[in-house]
C-alpha cells in the first residue's frame, strides 16, 4: 500500500527543515500538511474499522480548516507530527485490512457508497517539497 511509505517520504522531504516553510499559494505550513495527512488517515481508519466492527456505515464530511484551527497545526512540532504520522499510517493499514476482509461499504455524505477497496485507493497527498522549499500541488 502506498500509505505505508508516506511517513518516510514526508520525513525525507522535510529533512533539515523545521516544517514552518510555506508556499505563498497554500494556506498551511509544511508541518501543518503532515498534521492534516495524519488526521485524514486516522479519521478514515476510525470510520472503516467502526463499520467493519458493526458500527455505522454513514460517513459525514468534515471541515479540514476547522480541524486545523482546533488542533492548532501550526503549533505542532514537526518531530511530533512525523511521529504521529507513522502511527496513523500503521493504524490506517490495519483498519483498511479489516475493512477489506469484511467487505465494508461506507456511505459517504458527498461521495456516495465507497467500498473498502475504494478507500484503500484514496491516498492522502502532500504538496511536493524539497528541503527549504514548499511547492504547490
| Residue 76 within a domain | yes
- Measured in whole angstroms, the distance separating CA 74 from the mean position of its chain's CA atoms is 16
Q: What is the pLDDT of residues 78-137, one digit of tens each?
A: 999 999 999 999 999 999 999 999 999 999 888 889 988 888 886 555 554 444 444 444
Grid cell, residue 85, equals 504520522
Whether the predicted pLDDT of 68 surpasses 60: yes
Gap between the terminal Cα atoms of the chain: 21
Q: Which residues span the domain enclosing 29? A: 2-130
How far, in Å, CA of 26 to CA of 86, rounded? Answer: 24
pTM of the model: 0.84
| Residue 55 within a domain | yes
| Residue 82 within a domain | yes
Whether the predicted pLDDT of 51 surpasses 80: yes
| Residue 135 within a domain | no
CATH for 125: 1.20.120.450
How far, in Å, CA of 38 to CA of 50, rounded? Answer: 18
| Residue 137 within a domain | no
Q: What total of structural domains would you count in the chain?
A: 1
> By C-alpha distance, which of 102, 136, 137 is closest to 119?
102
| Residue 89 within a domain | yes
| Residue 136 within a domain | no
- What one-character DSSP code corresponds to residue 28? S
Whether the predicted pLDDT of 65 surpasses 60: yes
Spatial contact of 99 and 24, defined as CB atoms under 8 Å apart? no
In this predicted structure, what is the pLDDT of residue 49? Answer: 95
Q: What is the pLDDT of residues 6-27, one digit of tens each?
A: 999 999 999 999 999 988 888 8
| Residue 7 within a domain | yes
Amino acid at each position: 500500500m502506498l500509505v505505508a511509505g508516506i511517513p518516510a517520504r514526508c520525513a525525507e522531504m522535510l529533512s533539515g527543515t523545521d516544517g514552518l516553510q510555506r508556499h505563498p499559494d497554500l494556506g498551511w505550513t509544511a508541518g501543518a500538511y503532515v498534521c492534516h495527512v495524519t488526521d485524514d488517515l486516522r479519521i478514515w481508519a476510525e470510520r472503516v474499522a467502526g463499520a467493519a466492527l458493526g458500527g455505522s456505515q454513514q460517513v459525514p464530511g468534515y471541515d479540514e480548516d476547522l480541524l486545523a484551527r482546533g488542533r492548532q497545526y501550526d503549533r505542532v512540532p514537526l518531530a511530533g507530527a512525523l511521529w504521529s504520522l507513522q502511527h496513523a499510517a500503521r493504524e490506517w493499514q490495519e483498519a483498511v485490512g479489516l475493512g477489506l476482509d469484511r467487505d465494508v461499504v461506507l456511505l459517504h455524505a458527498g461521495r456516495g457508497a465507497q467500498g473498502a477497496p475504494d478507500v484503500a485507493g484514496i491516498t492522502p497527498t502532500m504538496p511536493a517539497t524539497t528541503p527549504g522549499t514548499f511547492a504547490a500541488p
